[in-house]
Each structure stands twice: as structure tokens, then as C-alpha cells.
Amino acid sequence: MQSHYPLRKSVPAAARPTQQPLVSRRAFAGGLALAACADWSFAAAAPPKRVAAIVTEYIHNSHADVIASRMVHSHSMDGKGSWPPGNGWPKLKLVSVFVDQQHPKDMSARLAAEHGFLLASSIEQAITLGGNSLAVDGVLLIGEHGKYPLSDTGQIMYPRRRFFEETAAVFRKVGCSVPVFSDKHLSWNWADAKWMYDTARELKVPMMAGSSIPCLWRHPAVEMKLGARATEAVALSYGPLEGYGFHGLEGLQCLVERRRGGETGVAAVQFMQGPEVWEEMRKGRFSEEVLQAAVGARENKTRFKKPFIEQVKNPAAFFIEYRDGFKATMVHDNKDGHNEWIVAWREQGRKEMPATSFWTQEARPLGHFAFLLQGIEKMIYTGKPTWPVERTLLTTGVLAAAFQSRQQDGKRLETPHLAIRYEPTFTWKDPAAPQPGRPLQGM
């Protein structure tokens, strides 16, 4: 299922890139404002910034709904604005929506009639509101959900590049740009993802991408210390291999990018499926001790009657070799016996192994998406990405390489194209506790 993350029963407690030989993040950031059309200075009394949403489909609980609808229904998703963050309402105004595929239960037409935004017939019209210049301060590209074909590697070919390509064409036409956020991984394939990244740099587009995972609640509430001498990490993931595996990679990467020296990129990726994953662990390819630290951080400790390794008999594994010698393994349960995103890691000179579970609210208002939108809002107001797009460029590349490895019977693939260097620009802070959940079927 793709509309939201599977239900959990736990209750929560209250820059420099890049892929060589690309230019430095500082040089890129320094040129961001040169071609910008919007005034990003924040003033509380000023009208909210205007946003166009370009989406694959717009139905209840879709990513279009849980991200874009917050601008018309508030972060509490009930029109009352009764919950943090902020004052309960995004400081953003949804002024247009383009929907690529019309679902029988489409809700965009009803929302447009109720809230007065333009239901655009093209991406260009959504961004210009039918005029000859940019009429928005930011663009959301939400290429998730809908019926799209599979690639030869078995990935969903969402039109994320097409969405950005048509957006970039408008920027070229009018001679300026505004910030762009692209939901989840940049593309199902590396070539398109890299093209999107390079085009954003060329046009000086402030750009972010990714999922809500790095922003949300963690149990326990821990962050890897900046500059930590980390040597290995093990992540646990679950669900659909591409869509949810990406979330697992983002949870992993938002922590390990903080290790000593910053991010250096990935040298090789290998995919493996089946009992041989546990055999590789016994041979020392990854640490059972770090794995058990991750298992020990599970919130639903009564879900399994047997030990984790005995219960998860057919895991998938992503073996990730970083260029600086750091190594990470993501163990993914396709059968949904395990249902949490968890990361544990080892540091030199530290006896205990930190581990944390990323908690999502599996009820309306799906509050974890509020923190994602807050990050987007900050970029639209400041013109500077709240977290580095290089993180998502790297996780996109790792995911694509893993699917290529799977297609080639688990061959270890060297990835010189993933020599992506960057420094983290986002430090996680424990968010406000969620408001009480409401049924997913309701507003």
C-alpha cells in the first residue's frame, strides 16, 4: 500500500557537496539568489508565500493530500489549526494544482471550488497562473501514487523528471526561478536524478527532495553527534521494496552523514535476498551486535514470538560500502512481519550502541508530514534548502544501484558516480508531541 505508512500501535513521548567534480555547496548556495524572482525575507504580517502543487493524483491520504492539503486544512488537517507546529497553519497559500492522472475519487476539483485555487490544465499554467511570468513563490512536485509502468528493474516510473523538466522549461522561458521541492527519491533511475540535480544547479533553483522520515519523531530521541567516529550502521526497514526501502535509506543517511569528515559518497552497493543474508552476517559482513541493538529498539517488542533472525526468514539486504570505509547494511522485511524503521550504529571508543526507531503517526492528521512541510516552508521563505538535496541524490543512487544489483542476481556493483560529498546542514530536534489521532477514513 502506498497511501500512508502501515499502522503502529505505540504512543510517542512528548554546505558543501558534492559529487566530484561538481562545484562546492558554498559556491552553489552563494549564487542561489541571482536568478530568483521571489522576495524571501520573512515578515509575520506579510501575505503567505504562494505555492503551486504538481501532483500525479489527488485522493484522500495520498501524498498530495497529506502535504498540499495542509495549506488549506491546516496542520491538524481539520481546518482548525489547533495543533503545532507553528500556529497550526503553514505560512503558505496553495494557489494552483496540476493533476497528471484523474482518479475516480479525485478530490482536487472539490478543494479548488472550496478554497479558490486554480485547477491548472498544464504545469506551465500552474506556475504562471496563465500569465507570462512566475506567479508563485515555490513549487511542490509530488510524483507519488497513480498508475504508471514499471521499469526493467521493477521500479515504478513516476514522472518526477518530467514534472521537473516542464517546471525548468518555464524557469528558462521567464528567465528566473523559485524554490522547488520534489517528494521522495528524485527518480527511479540515476540518469534522470542526476539530470534534475544538474539542471537545478544550472538554473540556480533552490531545491530539496526526500521524505518525512528525517524530520519526525524518534524513540528514543537521539541524534548522531556531529563528527562522531562512527564505523558501521545497521538499519531495519519493511514493506514495498522501493517505496518503503527508500524511507529506510533516508533514515539511515540522515544519521550517518553526521559522522566524522562529513559525507564522502558510496563506493559499492549489493542487493541480497533470502537466508543467505543471515549467513553473510555470521561470516562477519555485518555485525550481529549492531543488528541486535537495532532489534532492541523496536517499539512493538511483542509482535514476534521468535527471535528476529528466526522470524524474518527471507530478508532483503542492501550492503552499502562508503568511500571512507564506513559500512552500512539495511535489512528489509518484504512480508511486513517487521514494521518499523530503525537505525543502530557503532562508534569508536563507545561501548553502548545508539539506536532509534523513526515513529510515524498512522492516523489523521499524519503529523509527520507537518514537519516535512515546515522544512519546505523554510526553504521557500529563505531561498536556502533546509537540508541538502545531495542527501536525496545519494539515497536515490543507492536505491537505483540496489535494484540494478537485484536484476543482475545480486552482483556487487561499484558506484563511482556516487562519489557525492556534502556536509549536513540540518540538525534534528525532538518535535512537539502529536495531537490525538483520528480515523484515516475521516477528514
In this prediction, residue 45 has a pLDDT band, given cuts at 50, 70 and 90, of low
Predicted pLDDT of residue 336:
67
Task: Reduce the DSSP state of residue 401 to 3 states and report it.
Answer: helix
Q: Cα(414)–Cα(302) distance, rounded to whole angstroms?
A: 39
Please tell me whether residues 259 and 282 are part of one structural domain. yes
- Domain boundary among the residues 359, 379, 401 is at 359
Domains identified in the chain, total number: 2
Please tell me whether residues 328 and 378 are part of one structural domain. no
Task: Reduce the DSSP state of residue 313 to 3 states and report it.
Answer: coil
| Within-domain flag for 439 | no
Gyration radius of the chain's alpha carbons = 21
Q: pTM for the complete prediction?
A: 0.90
Q: Phi first, then psi: give them for residue 95, nearest 5 degrees.
A: -110, -15
Mean predicted confidence (pLDDT) in 56-64: 98
Closest to 146 measured CA to CA, from 241, 64, 242, 246: 64
Task: Indicate if the pLDDT at residue 144 is higher than 80.
Answer: yes
Please tell me whether residues 255 and 165 are part of one structural domain. no
CATH assignment of the domain containing 242: 3.30.360
Q: What residues make up the domain containing 177?
A: 30-214+365-387
Predicted pLDDT of residue 334:
86
Task: Indicate if the pLDDT at residue 424 is higher than 50.
Answer: yes
Mean predicted confidence (pLDDT) in 65-83: 96
Q: Tell me what the pLDDT averaged over the chain comes to.
A: 91
Q: Cα(223)–Cα(128) distance, rounded to whole angstroms?
A: 41
Predicted pLDDT of residue 18:
31
| Within-domain flag for 243 | yes
Task: Indicate if the pLDDT at residue 226 is higher than 70.
Answer: yes
Q: Phi first, then psi: give them for residue 279, nearest 5 degrees.
A: -65, -40
Residue whose cell numbers read 535476498: 273
Please tell me whether residues 61 and 99 are part of one structural domain. yes
Distances (CA, A) of 260 to 19, 25, 227, 330: 18, 18, 4, 21
Closest to 95 measured CA to CA, from 66, 60, 54: 54
Closest to 246 measured CA to CA, from 258, 256, 237: 237
Q: Cα(137)–Cα(224) distance, rounded to whole angstroms?
A: 34
Task: Indicate if the pLDDT at residue 140 is higher than 70.
Answer: yes
In this prediction, residue 379 has a pLDDT band, given cuts at 50, 70 and 90, of very high
